[in-house]
Structure 1
């Protein structure tokens, strides 16, 4: 996807720019400013998402995640069940402490 850019002349705080470059691991001023802008926008979106979870839930935004969680939980539970519970002990019942017949 092609990104639109605009040429802008701006006075920047040299010390803050150098520290940002160090923290972000960027090498150019352009890369540093663009990375900082993207990070700021992403953080703002995360904060917006936290604003009203009840309203988001009413719109059904969490339904897919809830369904995926339920499916994963069912799979995990099935992994701890024996195929024939009448002949084999269930996992978690300390069957190893029983006396053998």
Structure 2
């Protein structure tokens, strides 16, 4: 009978320690998510100093006859005769 009670106590102790470890690890994830959100907000706000630019050639009659470009704070891409910066697209005219 004593062995049975000691076994139950051991199981309760192990379960309590495991539960506490899970609880504390979940709190760390929340803090980490908060820190990442703050970093992303600073980057999107332009306070980080990050900027980008994109340029694309404009073709007329098979020859390059100019270009189109843009600058942004978050994302910049270019394609065939267009550029896109921070969600705004500019095309060759």
The TM-score with structure 1 as length reference comes to 0.27
Higher relative contact order (CA 8 A, sep 6+): 2
Q: Which has the higher strand share?
A: 2
Q: Which has the higher helix share?
A: 1
The TM-score with structure 2 as length reference comes to 0.29
